[in-house]
Amino acid sequence: MELDGLSDHEYIKIRDLLFKESGISLGSGKKTLVAGRLFKRIQSLQLNSYSDYIARLVSGDDLVELQTAIDLLTTNETYFFREPKHFEMLTEIAKKAPKGKNFRVWSAACSTGEEVYTIAMCLQELTRLGHCPNWEARGSDLSQRVLEKAAAALYGIERTDGIAPDLMRRYFLQGSGPYEGFILVDRKLREKVEFAQINLILPLPELVPFDVIFLRNALIYFEIPEKRKIVTQLLSVLAPEGVLFVGLAESLNGVVEGLVQIGPGAYRVDRRR
């Protein structure tokens, strides 16, 4: 089956639907990307056009397919030890945490989980050396598809370039047989990590405050009002001296008042205000 190209009118409908459901704003230059990501899905459903698929999404009768479309349209780029400066800062923050405290970290746009397991490796290394309190890490994402990959904790060996050899030996199992070319995150990390589907523009579920929250390279997909809403909600579940990390190329200046920058892409609430 061949499909006609995605029209401007159809693209606007998809763009508006994605914004309504996720708060993610697609610019005019994303039309080709959207058409490509939905093409195979429309074929697999044996639909005749993008319009037929849009009608299915907006009908409200197929919430599973709506989630599938959101998954397909959500960009998810991540890798182990991305922007390593933040993990160095995380290590120093955790070292200073009070003894006996449960140190909690949330990766709020975790994609396929590499960031969460990087956090877990850093904290487990401190525990191994006697420098860290008890800890736990949580990852969340809008996409159920990437969360399933994160929970599986199975990655292609080509994804491990940023991991030091000693960490590879301690925290990963090498695959063999049908899993040749893959690595599995060790159980001692998997057991201390949780994943949940959370839409950051909706009211957050009830959460215990976090000492550190990572929201890196996610706000670039939102307009200012949505950025402000998301950051404000995250700050409401950040511990009083907690740290919020955004991407090194991102800034919260002009988004939310009352923050003080303590390092590249790292913010605390200014308690002097």
pLDDT at 6 over 60: yes
What does the alpha-carbon distance between residue 91 and residue 86 come to, in Å, rounded to a whole number? 9
Share of the chain above pLDDT 90, in %: 56
Work out the mean pLDDT of the chain and round it to a whole number: 90
Say what angle helices 8-22 and 63-73 make with each other, to 10 degrees.
100
DSSP, collapsed to helix, strand or coil, labels residue 64 as helix
Mean pLDDT of 79-85: 94
pLDDT at 169 over 80: yes
Residues 53, 95, single domain; the answer is no
pLDDT band at residue 3 using 50, 70 and 90 as cut-offs: low
Burial 158-173 (b: 16+ CB within 10 A, else e): eebeebeeebeeebbe
| CATH number of the domain to which 18 belongs | 1.10.155.10
Residues 118, 17, single domain; the answer is no
Cα distances (angstroms) measured from residue 144 to each of 68, 174, 230: 8, 26, 19
> Other C-beta atoms within 10 Å of 175: how many?
16
Mean pLDDT of 70-85: 85
Give the domain extent around 258. Answer: 85-148+192-269
Mean pLDDT of 201-218: 95
Residues 23, 128, single domain; the answer is no
At 170-195, the pLDDT tens digits run: 999 998 888 889 999 999 999 999 99
Q: Could you tell me the pTM of the whole model?
A: 0.86
Retrieve residue 202's tokens.
């909706």
Nearest to 78 by CA among 247, 268, 226, 249: 247
Residues forming the active site: 37, 141
Residue at 3 is within a domain? no
At 229-273, the pLDDT tens digits run: 999 999 999 999 999 999 998 999 989 999 999 999 999 998 775
Residues 62, 90, single domain; the answer is no
pLDDT band at residue 145 using 50, 70 and 90 as cut-offs: confident
pLDDT at 2 over 60: no
Residues 100, 142, single domain; the answer is yes
pLDDT for the residue 221? 83
Burial 103-118 (b: 16+ CB within 10 A, else e): bbbbbbbbbbbbbbbb
Contact in structure between 27 and 220 (CB atoms under 8 Å)? no
Nearest to 184 by CA among 215, 221, 156: 156
Phi, psi of 90 (to 5 degrees): -55, -45
Residues 56, 144, single domain; the answer is no
Q: Which of 73, 100, 120 is the last residue of a domain?
A: 73
pLDDT band at residue 93 using 50, 70 and 90 as cut-offs: very high
| CATH number of the domain to which 244 belongs | 3.40.50.150
